[in-house]
């Protein structure tokens, strides 16, 4: 990521650098405001505009995968920038990577494999995670 940004002439400020760190270390597929919150713990005066700005730069450089939602904040995967399937819980908005999936597999089989009650298929799979089904999480 650092090299890709530098190659495009982007100055790596300490804030940007921290943001890259957050993106690479988070498995949670954070939203822009979650990234913002995390960066602000170290650089309290970072603006949300800086975060969005850097997200755009990283997307242009092909270093960041954006997971789009209608009606909810987009989420980002900085660990794997190529497209890959996700398991998405519509209840608690948890997003997990879903690896080695046969896309022709019946949804029922996938449900029993993952524990998700899978209700749909896009490039991503979404539904309700085991925690939500058992009422262990509160709706955000």
Judged by the rule CB under 5 A, the positions of this chain that interact with Zn ion are: 77, 89, 91-92, 94, 97, 129, 132
Between 48 and 90, CB nearer to Zn ion: 90
CB of residue 11 to Zn ion, shortest distance in Å: 28
CB of residue 92 to Zn ion, shortest distance in Å: 3
Between 43 and 79, CB nearer to Zn ion: 79
Name every residue whose Cβ is closer than 8 Å to that of residue 12 and which is 6 or more positions away in sequence: 2, 5, 6
Between 46 and 116, CB nearer to Zn ion: 116
Closest C-alpha among 64, 73, 94 to residue 4: 64
The phi and psi torsions of 17 (rounded to 5 degrees) equal -60, -45
Which ranges of the chain does DSSP label H, i.e. alpha helix? 2-7, 14-25, 32-40, 48-60, 107-114, 130-133
Between 23 and 89, CB nearer to Zn ion: 89
Between 36 and 94, CB nearer to Zn ion: 94
Say how many C-beta atoms besides its own lie within 10 A of residue 122's C-beta.
9
CB of residue 13 to Zn ion, shortest distance in Å: 26
Say how many C-beta atoms besides its own lie within 10 A of residue 22's C-beta.
21
Taken in order 104, 108, 113, 117, is the CA torsion positive or negative? positive
CB of residue 78 to Zn ion, shortest distance in Å: 9
CB of residue 49 to Zn ion, shortest distance in Å: 25
């Amino acid at each position: 990521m650092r090299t890709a940004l530098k190659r495009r002439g982007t100055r790596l400020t300490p804030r940007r650098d921290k943001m890259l760190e957050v993106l690479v270390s988070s498995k949670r597929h954070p939203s822009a405001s979650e990234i913002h919150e995390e960066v602000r713990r170290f650089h309290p005066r970072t603006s949300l505009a800086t975060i969005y700005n850097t997200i755009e730069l990283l997307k242009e450089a092909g270093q960041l995968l954006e997971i789009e939602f209608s009606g909810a904040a987009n989420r980002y995967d900085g660990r794997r920038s190529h497209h890959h399937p996700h398991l998405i819980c519509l209840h608690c908005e948890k997003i997990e990577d879903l690896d080695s999936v046969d896309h022709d597999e019946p949804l029922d089989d996938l449900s029993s494999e993952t524990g998700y009650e899978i209700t749909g298929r896009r490039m991503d799979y979404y539904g309700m995670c085991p925690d939500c089904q058992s009422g262990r999480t509160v709706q955000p």
